[in-house]
């Protein structure tokens, strides 16, 4: 499997050793020495947890700025819902929602990612200042790899079984971790062959995308196996139905469960957390980092 170059290092808070390096995203170089927080800005009417709240560009821009103030290291703008059962939107509809907000945010000192499956939207977003493309289809659409290769943006390659409309109908795997790992390694290799350097690539197991609660839990428990592919891992567990399945709570009431899942994801090697609740996630990471430092100091004393 393709490995990214980079110095080897310990993942704080776990015994895991993976390639630790920086992520290049357009004009930004993001250190991965600590886990990064990607704040979600959904410009949709039908997203599962916040659909319709930020449809108006002014509200979306205000929300994005608030997430940056709360400590977001990246923003992820999405103008097409990928929730189970979501209907596709047209390219022009997606761009109409996206571009005014992207143009207003492109000058921020925070990289802006665009969550899209469409190569045409990718090209337009990159031209308008996006520093990253987050594709739940891992650049499988014809022309998508070329759109990224022609840019200096980062890309997040996510695993999904099926497509949003039908993906939760009957997900099946013989071995979910191995199948997700093979898919992600192959997609990273396709990007590398097209000239996209390793330090622009992020991988994502795709929690909730064509997976039952048991598949998601198995992936999360063994996610370190994906971190060993050598690319930074992004985990998107925030408010997802997995948390609702475990806690019995609705999407608006899943913060505590989301923080627990995010912490486990970090301990299992995630370097970017895609979240709706930035400030609480930063607090969780601060506690985790302080404890890790204390543990390190004690280990050094003992040596
Ligand atoms: N999850 C969602 C959307 N995009 N991208 C990546 N890389 N990883 C994820 O886990 C992920 C994602 C779903 O969350 P949300 O954007 O809040 O909902 P919706 O797709 O309904 O807009």
The 10s digit of each residue's pLDDT in 255-296 is: 999 999 999 999 999 999 999 999 999 999 999 999 988 988
Helix axes 278-302, 255-267, angle to 10 degrees: 40
Catalytic residue among 24, 240, 254, 271: 240
Please report the pLDDT score of residue 47 as a whole number: 74
- The answer to whether residue 274 is catalytic is yes
**Atom 2, ligand 1: which residue's CA is nearest?**
82
Please report the pLDDT score of residue 8 as a whole number: 46
Is the model's pLDDT at 3 over the cut of 50?
Answer: no
Instruction: Categorize the per-residue pLDDT at 218 as very low, low, confident or very high, splitting at 50, 70 and 90.
Output: very high
Cα angle 19, 9, 189 (rounded to 5 degrees) comes to 5
Q: In whole angstroms, what is the distance from residue 173 CA to residue 124 CA?
A: 36
Distance 19 CA to ligand 1 centre (A): 25
Instruction: Categorize the per-residue pLDDT at 5 as very low, low, confident or very high, splitting at 50, 70 and 90.
Output: very low
**Domains with residue ranges and CATH for the chain:** 8-302 (3.20.20.20)
Beta bridge partners of 113: 76, 132
Distance 130 CA to ligand 1 centre (A): 17
Here the tokens at position 19 are: 């390639």
Q: Tell me what the mean pLDDT of segment 201-212 comes to.
A: 97
Is the model's pLDDT at 104 over the cut of 90?
Answer: yes
State which of 206, 236, 265 you would mutate to test the pocket of ligand 1, scoring each by most atoms of that ligand within 8 A of its C-beta: 236
Please report the pLDDT score of residue 188 as a whole number: 97
Is the model's pLDDT at 244 over the cut of 90?
Answer: yes
**Atom 3, ligand 1: which residue's CA is nearest?**
82
Distance 82 CA to ligand 1 centre (A): 6
Q: In whole angstroms, what is the distance from residue 125 CA to residue 90 CA?
A: 15
Distance 120 CA to ligand 1 centre (A): 20
Instruction: Categorize the per-residue pLDDT at 20 as very low, low, confident or very high, splitting at 50, 70 and 90.
Output: low
Residues in CB range of 241: below 8 A, 6 or more apart? 48, 84, 208, 213
Please report the pLDDT score of residue 217 as a whole number: 98
Residues with CB under 6 A from ligand 1: 40, 42, 44, 47-49, 78, 81-83, 115, 134, 136, 156, 158, 204, 206-207, 234, 236, 274
Instruction: Categorize the per-residue pLDDT at 299 as very low, low, confident or very high, splitting at 50, 70 and 90.
Output: confident
- The answer to whether residue 211 is catalytic is no
Please report the pLDDT score of residue 146 as a whole number: 98
Mean residue pLDDT of the chain comes to 91
Percent of the chain with pLDDT over 90: 79
Please report the pLDDT score of residue 273 as a whole number: 98
Q: Tell me what the mean pLDDT of segment 102-110 comes to.
A: 95
> Who wins on pLDDT, 19 or 249?
249
Is the model's pLDDT at 13 over the cut of 90?
Answer: no
Please report the pLDDT score of residue 147 as a whole number: 98
Here the tokens at position 50 are: 């916040």
Distance 146 CA to ligand 1 centre (A): 23
Please report the pLDDT score of residue 73 as a whole number: 98
Percent of the chain with pLDDT over 70: 93
Tens digits of residue pLDDT in 51-91:
777 778 999 999 999 999 999 999 999 999 888 888 889 99
Instruction: Categorize the per-residue pLDDT at 9 as very low, low, confident or very high, splitting at 50, 70 and 90.
Output: low
> Who wins on pLDDT, 48 or 236?
236
**Atom 10, ligand 1: which residue's CA is nearest?**
236
Q: In whole angstroms, what is the distance from residue 291 CA to residue 166 CA?
A: 42
Check: CB of residue 28 under 8 Å from CB of residue 111.
yes
């Amino acid at each position: 499997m393709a490995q990214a170059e980079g110095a080897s290092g310990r993942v704080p808070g776990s015994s895991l050793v993976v390639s630790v390096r920086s992520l290049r995203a357009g004009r930004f170089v993001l250190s991965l020495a600590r886990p990064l927080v990607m704040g979600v800005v959904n410009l949709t009417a039908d997203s599962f947890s916040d659909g319709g709240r930020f449809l108006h560009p002014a509200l979306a821009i205000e929300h994005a700025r608030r997430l940056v103030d709360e400590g977001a290291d990246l923003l992820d703008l999405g103008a097409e819902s990928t929730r189970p059962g979501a209907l596709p939107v047209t390219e022009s509809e997606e761009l109409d929602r996206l571009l005014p907000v992207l143009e207003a945010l492109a000058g921020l000192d925070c990289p802006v990612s665009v969550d899209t499956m469409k190569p045409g939207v990718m090209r337009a977003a990159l031209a308008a200042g996006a520093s990253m493309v987050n594709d739940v289809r891992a650049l499988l659409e014809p022309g998508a790899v070329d759109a990224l290769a022609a840019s200096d943006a980062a890309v997040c390659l996510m695993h999904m079984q099926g497509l949003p409309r039908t993906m939760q109908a009957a997900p099946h795997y013989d071995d979910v971790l191995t199948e997700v790992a093979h898919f992600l390694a192959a997609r990273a290799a396709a990007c590398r062959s097209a000239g996209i350097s390793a330090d622009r690539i992020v991988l994502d197991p795709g929690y909730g995308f064509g997976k039952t609660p048991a598949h998601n839990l198995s992936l999360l428990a063994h996610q370190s196996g994906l971190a060993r592919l050598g690319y930074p891992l992004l985990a998107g567990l925030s408010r997802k139905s997995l948390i609702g399945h475990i806690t019995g709570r609705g999407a608006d009431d899943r913060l505590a469960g989301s923080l627990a899942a995010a912490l486990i994801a970090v301990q299992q090697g995630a370097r970017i957390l895609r979240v709706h609740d930035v400030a609480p996630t930063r607090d969780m990471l601060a506690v985790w980092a302080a404890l890790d430092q204390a543990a390190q100091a004690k280990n050094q004393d003992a040596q």
